[in-house]
């Protein structure tokens, strides 16, 4: 019993005092935009209805040094029509490095949504985004779930972090001091233990 306590204490001390500093430099997304959504739901809205939409999303992912980046994303989509509310979605994102560093690229999001206004509904949410320089994205969204909800739409948005922090495109035209100062770790650096 005392021996296992000593091993646990030694392992904890090794983790605290022997670990090297981490410099993961994760990717992040913070976008805002607008578009239109066509939707219908059960008997309350049996015909498709078109509403304007505001798109706000935030997320975090793997470092941008990889060719494919995976992460998580939270999206809220307030509809601007009368007697509507905001849909929320929790998504897993996979994107290309070009998308993340503010150039041309693609991002795909898959996950779940929750509609808490009107007749509540939960189900599948997905989107496909085409990234352009300076953090612009053209996205196509869909949702399908309980109470026969079916929704699809499109939006144009700008990602502030892809524009200002991660942008590695158009540097001759508009320098990004953050790109020059970031020191990304290489994959060849292995774990090191110090005693």
Residue 179 confidence (pLDDT): 76
Q: How far apart are CA 192 and CA 92, in angstroms?
A: 32
Contact 169, 55 (CB under 8 A): no
Instruction: Classify residue 154: in a domain, yes or no.
Output: yes
- Residue at token pair 């997320």: 59
- Residue at token pair 């605290």: 16
Instruction: Classify residue 100: in a domain, yes or no.
Output: yes
Higher pLDDT: 178 or 147? It is 147
Tally of domains in the chain: 1
The alpha carbon dihedral of 89, 110, 141, 29 has a sign of positive
Instruction: Classify residue 105: in a domain, yes or no.
Output: yes
Q: Report in angstroms the alpha-carbon separations of 113 from 2, 74, 91, 128.
A: 50, 10, 8, 16
Average pLDDT, the chain: 84
| pLDDT(83) > 90 | no
Lowest average pLDDT, out of 65-69, 113-117, 164-168, 187-191, goes to 187-191
Instruction: Classify residue 81: in a domain, yes or no.
Output: yes
pLDDT band at 89 (very low <50, low <70, confident <90, very high): very high
We report the CATH number of the domain holding residue 113 as 2.40.160
The pTM of this model reads 0.77
Instruction: Classify residue 158: in a domain, yes or no.
Output: yes
| pLDDT(112) > 90 | yes
Contact 76, 53 (CB under 8 A): no
pLDDT band at 24 (very low <50, low <70, confident <90, very high): low
pLDDT band at 6 (very low <50, low <70, confident <90, very high): low
Q: How far apart are CA 125 and CA 114, in angstroms?
A: 9
By percentage, how much of the chain surpasses pLDDT 90?
A: 59
Range of the domain at 124: 23-176
Residue 85 confidence (pLDDT): 92
- N- to C-terminal Cα separation, the chain: 26
Instruction: Classify residue 194: in a domain, yes or no.
Output: no
Looking at residues 97-102, what average pLDDT do you find?
Answer: 91
pLDDT digit string, tens, across residues 115-172: 999 889 999 999 999 999 999 999 999 999 999 999 999 999 999 998 888 888 888 8
Q: Which residues contact 158 (CB under 8 A, 6 or more apart)?
A: 31, 32, 33, 134, 135, 136, 137
Contact 106, 73 (CB under 8 A): no
Instruction: Classify residue 118: in a domain, yes or no.
Output: yes
Instruction: Classify residue 73: in a domain, yes or no.
Output: yes
């Amino acid at each position: 019993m005392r021996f296992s306590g000593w091993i646990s204490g030694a392992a904890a001390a090794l983790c605290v005092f022997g670990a090297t500093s981490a410099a993961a430099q994760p990717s992040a997304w913070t976008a805002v935009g607008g578009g239109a959504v066509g939707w219908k739901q059960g008997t309350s809205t049996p015909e498709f209805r078109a509403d304007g939409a505001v798109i706000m999303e935030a997320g975090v992912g793997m470092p941008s040094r990889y060719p494919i980046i995976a992460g998580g994303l939270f999206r809220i989509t307030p509809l601007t029509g009368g007697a509507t509310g905001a849909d929320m979605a929790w998504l897993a994102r996979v994107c290309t490095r070009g998308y993340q560093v503010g150039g041309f690229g693609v991002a795909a999001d898959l996950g779940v949504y929750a509609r808490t206004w009107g007749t509540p509904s939960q189900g599948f949410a997905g989107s496909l985004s085409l990234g352009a320089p300076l953090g612009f994205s053209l996205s196509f969204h869909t949702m399908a779930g309980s109470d026969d909800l079916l929704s699809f739409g499109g939006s144009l948005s700008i990602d502030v972090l892809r524009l200002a922090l991660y942008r590695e495109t158009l540097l001759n035209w508009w320098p990004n001091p953050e790109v020059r100062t970031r020191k990304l770790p290489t994959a060849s650096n292995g774990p090191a233990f110090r005693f």
